[in-house]
Structure 1
């Protein structure tokens, strides 16, 4: 059981970090990319509203013996989202 809690704690911490990276990159790109600003502003607003829930998920993941697959899948989706948002920085206005 102690090993599970350590693994859950590490996974919970990683989950929180991935979310923060995604939220921060969206916030950064919103200020730099005019073309996608309305979409990115909505995404930023959604991520800001989700922050308390993400913190709860992270804390519960540390406390409970939950399946790691769901958390890992969500982390992978957030990492893919981060990559897509970063691509917005590379698109020039004349290529839209």
Structure 2
């Protein structure tokens, strides 16, 4: 399945997410995937546990984060969620910021 098809099929695009922490941002995204029957609710905790154990290894320097867990931690099928937070959301020692296009 192509990325675009996954986003459309799963109705998993979240714009202007109202999240003040990275945990809230991840929860909003995972909730969309739960609703689409892509992951089980326990997948959220798996992401939190992964960050606690290994740090935010899913962040890059451009402000993009791709939080994820392992397939056996609640994944039902392949899926993807795209989310955008209006405000910066901090991931431990990293700070994810958004850039204005205007």
Q: TM-score, normalised on structure 1?
A: 0.29
- Structure of higher CA gyration radius: 1
Normalized per residue, the structure richer in helix is 1
Q: TM-score, normalised on structure 2?
A: 0.28
Normalized per residue, the structure richer in strand is 2
